Amino acid sequence: MQIIILFILFLYLLLILKYWFGWTKNKSNGASNYTPIVSVIIALRNEQEQVLRLLSELKRQDYPIGKLEFILVNDHSTDSTLELLENSEIENLRVLNMPDGMFGKKSAIVFAMKKAKGDIILASDADCSFSPLWLRTMVAYFSNKNIKLVSGPVSYHKQKGIFLGLQTLEFISLIGSGAGAIGVENAIFCNGANMAYRKADFLELNNFENDDAASGDDVFLLHSIKEKYRHAIVFAKDEKAIVLTSAVQSTKGFINQRKRWTAKTSGYKDFASLYASFLVLFTNLSLVFLFVGYLYLDVYFQLFLFFYALKFMVDFLMLHQVLSFFKRKDLLKWILPFELFYAFYIVLIVILSFTKSFEWKGIIHKK
């Protein structure tokens, strides 16, 4: 058993070091004068508290207005979302209502795509905030004709509290790992709150209709593009491209969100994504096993400390770089205690995600 645990640790160390190397390889793009026709697509369901702020954020984007359209798709909202959208005075805004029988962000994107005029599609979420140069920065990467998809950086608004701090630390670690994998040209995931792709490639390769996961508008498209164009995916490592969203405020909401994220891994077909997911799970299972084991048998104590120390060092190496980019080095102090907490938490979330239902946008999705 000890040999197996050490082998798992060895594989994990190699994986994180590879992602660290990939993170360092990612670069910003300076072609800010590249201005193709762009369609920004955002789905909204019961977002009346976000609509006015979102419209203000979009309106201040620094991009030629004649080459830009905002397509906001109302996903059967039961509050004032649609009314607020229709009363907007943004001239390049198009408001679409989802037809009966169509629900969810993936369906909203497919529906909007049929009406989009842009050669480049930029997707985000209703609760996101952007810098005025966000759109221009993301689109600049497509000046390279070989680029098919751009994964953008996403972080949480800075808020006080241990719960929100640990939540942010985990989220940024996921974004950093995804960026690192892209840097070594073996993409595993991205975040749908900030991603861009060519419309022609979406129409050719998207297979949203062929999976029944509640989410995954981001990662399933990424995998489809990767399968055909492995070297055509980049990460926008540029502060101007950062999108900020809100952390979940309640423990119940947090667990529900993570269950939804984890549940979609059942639809993965990409080997690198499956390998990373299972390796992270087995690494944390090993840490839990050693922690519980040394409570009963002293022989496990030194192995637990050795495992914990090496895992912490490689995680710190990776996260120090990523947190510096996001200007969240204040979270570095939480990495050491977070290692053990995360091990128990991730095992629990995996179990819950495949055994319990979860709620998303007011809809219950059963396992």
Mean per-residue pLDDT, 68-97? 95
- For the segment 318-343, what is each residue's pLDDT rounded down to a tens digit? 999 999 999 999 999 999 999 999 99
pLDDT of residue 106: 87
> Is 265 inside any structural domain?
no
Residue 358: pLDDT band (50, 70, 90) is very low
Entry pTM: 0.90
> Is 39 inside any structural domain?
yes
Number of domains in the chain: 1
Domain with residue 98: its CATH number is: 3.90.550.10
> Is 211 inside any structural domain?
yes
C-alpha 14/C-alpha 201 separation (Å) is: 33
> Is 321 inside any structural domain?
no
Whether the pLDDT of residue 267 is over 80: the answer is no
CB atoms within 10 A of CB 365: 17
Strand partners, 245: 156
> Is 73 inside any structural domain?
yes
> Is 68 inside any structural domain?
yes
122: domain range?
26-166+179-249
> Is 325 inside any structural domain?
no
Share of the chain above pLDDT 90, in %: 74
Residue 365: pLDDT band (50, 70, 90) is very low
> Is 278 inside any structural domain?
no
Q: What are the tokens at 301?
A: 């104590």
